[in-house]
Amino acid sequence: MIIASNFKTNHTRNSTYAYLATLQEFITKKDSKQDIYIFPPSTALDGFTLSSQIHVGVQNAYPVEKGSFTGEIGLEQINEFGLNTILIGHSERRHILGESQALCAKKFDYFKEQDFEIVYCIGEPLEVREKGIDEVMAYNLKQLEGIDLSYDKLIVAYEPVWAIGTGVSASVQQIEETLGKLHQKVKAPLLYGGSVNVSSVKEILEIEHCEGVLVGTASWDVDSFCQMIEIADSI
């Protein structure tokens, strides 16, 4: 399974090093078989020496090698560290930073060209969820517009906006129904994200078509993240 942590705007360079050292030690000691993804902030990126099942990726980048895009990083900065995994379309970038579907698709195309592993996020806001599953699916499928769903390094993370950072995860039934319908269109591995924690991770990982989780808040503490990995190992 895929167990992923999005640090968002948390952790420093020092604490990221300490986190990864603890994580590596845990994975080795437990001989865990999970695929682990870690997305630190860009100030903490580096050429880490980790076992191959731990993938470090960037939370965002501009679809360009280099240039005049103040505040952004491009391919040249990512390549310096030999990283080739990226998160695209996170709801915080779409809704807080105003990233359009066209820009998400442009980023996808660019990093697909570079053969990156892409964790592509989709998810509906509360007012759409309240209208029912047909509206939810229409909204989520729109966020897949322009995305090559046959790309073999694509992972899709379903993260309902209303469940992110709220402490209220979508219910097992809601996740099951949504992932089931997404699976009819998307053959890439599907993840769920939105207030996943140590208590809920088992029932979520057991949902049909759920191949992993993308965790924010509950993953920032390395011991809690390791506990989730251990739970995944027990399934």
* Contacting positions for ligand 13P (CB under 6 A): 6, 90, 159, 164-165, 193-196, 214-218
Q: Which residue is nearest to ligand 13P (CB)?
A: 216
Using the minimum distance from each CB to ligand 13P, give the nearer residue, 144 or 164: 164
- In three-state secondary structure terms, 39 is strand
Instruction: Name the minimum Å distance from CB 90 to ligand 13P.
Output: 6
Using the minimum distance from each CB to ligand 13P, give the nearer residue, 68 or 217: 217
The answer to whether 32 and 65 are in contact (CB under 8 A) is: no
Instruction: Name the minimum Å distance from CB 201 to ligand 13P.
Output: 11
Catalytic entry in 11, 55, 90, 209: 90
Using the minimum distance from each CB to ligand 13P, give the nearer residue, 88 or 196: 196
C-alpha pair distances (Å), 65 with each of 59, 110, 114, 123, 206: 16, 10, 10, 29, 40
Dihedral sign (CA 195, 198, 199, 204):
positive
Instruction: Name the minimum Å distance from CB 198 to ligand 13P.
Output: 12
Catalytic entry in 92, 99, 124, 159: 159
- In three-state secondary structure terms, 196 is coil
On the CB side of 158, how many CA atoms lie within 13 Å of its CA? Answer: 28
Instruction: Name the minimum Å distance from CB 28 to ligand 13P.
Output: 26
The answer to whether 137 and 130 are in contact (CB under 8 A) is: no
Is 209 a catalytic site residue?
no
Using the minimum distance from each CB to ligand 13P, give the nearer residue, 75 or 204: 204
Instruction: Name the minimum Å distance from CB 214 to ligand 13P.
Output: 5
Is 117 a catalytic site residue?
no
Using the minimum distance from each CB to ligand 13P, give the nearer residue, 15 or 64: 15
Give which of 128, 149, 140 is closest to 101, Cα–Cα: 140
233: Cβ–Cβ under 8 A, 6 or more apart, which residues?
Answer: 30, 32, 33, 34
CB burial readout 133-164, b (16+ within 10 A) else e: eeebbebbeebbeebeeebeebbbbbbbbbbb
Active centre residues (catalytic): 90, 159
